[in-house]
Amino acid sequence: MDAPWTHTTVLLNEAVDALLTDQAGTYIDATFGRGGHSRLLLSRLAPQGRLIAFDKDPQAVTVARQIADSRFVIRHEGFCQLSQLPDASTLGVLMDLGVSSPQLDDPQRGFSFRFDAPLDMRMDTTRGLTVAQWLATAEQTQIAEVIRDYGEERFAGPIAKAIVARRQERGPVTTTAELASLVAGAVKTRESGQNPATRTFQAFRIFINAELEELQQALEASLNLLQPQGRLVVISFHSLEDRIVKQFIARHSRESVDRRVPGWMLSAPPVMKLEQMGRSRASASEVQANPRARSAIMRVAKRTSA
């Protein structure tokens, strides 16, 4: 039975338009989510086309398995496992890095401070530590480092101190409401319209799911997977992700030569592997209809023939 929560795919047509270059090709939806991009892509593929999707969320995999299409296969794995696929086996890799609305809106997933629920935040609920389990033993310095590095939170120190003090006095934090309350007491000022717990919840979610590390692995794997002229399309929703994507594309889109080395000592420069094709954001009308699209940035690159 489907969950009652719905999800509106961000940059739906724009992403598929950027990705699809040959209707008979093989494509990868590295983050299936609730399948908006996958379904549109399947509707445009020729009978001999193929789509491989990845997702580590069991609920997303359940939704994907309801797609009765011989051209489609879902893998219950994080997109860091893209490296398992054969080299030069796809014409396009799509990565939508946003958390799906069902994940945010289902209280039991523990992603949101809007509901009082178990403090989980795992994308894959079948394995790994929950945030509550990690906070029960993590040292104050590590908690502060995670909040600062992954949440870009300037009150990381006071928040970590409050979490550890609570643990010592009354036991570990186990629910989203308890965490949100602790953060609110430690954060003295906050941007207008933003809940004080926003950055901390983001930080813990990114950390517990190793999101940035997996993104880096997936991007590197995509270079080997893409056929010449194949497209890499990535939609990110916060600065940490977008910075990684931007730097990755830039690093592989230029020939790097150390000008301090004498010319006679230079070997051939590294071959450029990607060609930047630009970035775009959701339109004003899309943001109005779906406020979660406001922060989305889509970057597109093309695999060179090298």
pLDDT digits (tens, 9 = 90+) for 62-85: 999 999 999 999 999 999 999 999
pLDDT in tens, 102-134: 677 677 787 788 889 999 999 998 999 999 999
Which pLDDT belongs to residue 115?
A: 80
β-strand pairing of 297-303 with 26-29: unpaired
Which pLDDT belongs to residue 98?
A: 79
From the number of C-beta atoms within 10 Å of its C-beta (0-12, 13-18, 19+), residue 290 rates as: middle
CA distance 34 to 38: 9
pLDDT at 1 over 70: no
Residue 207: band (very low, low, confident or very high) from pLDDT cuts 50, 70, 90: very high
Higher pLDDT pick, 2 / 285 = 285
CA distance 157 to 140: 8
Which pLDDT belongs to residue 263?
A: 52
Which pLDDT belongs to residue 95?
A: 97
E strand or H helix that includes residue 124: none
pLDDT in tens, 211-267: 999 999 999 999 999 999 999 999 999 999 999 999 999 999 975 544 554 554 445
Domains in the chain, start-ordered, CATH in brackets? 12-101+211-303 (3.40.50.150), 125-208 (1.10.150.170)
Burial 207-238 (b: 16+ CB within 10 A, else e): bbbebbebbebbbebbbebbbeebbbbbbbbb
Instruction: Report which of 27, 91, 38, 98 is spatially closest to residue 64, judged by C-alpha positions.
Output: 38
Which residues face 235 on adjacent strands? 96, 298
pLDDT-above-90 percentage for the chain: 78
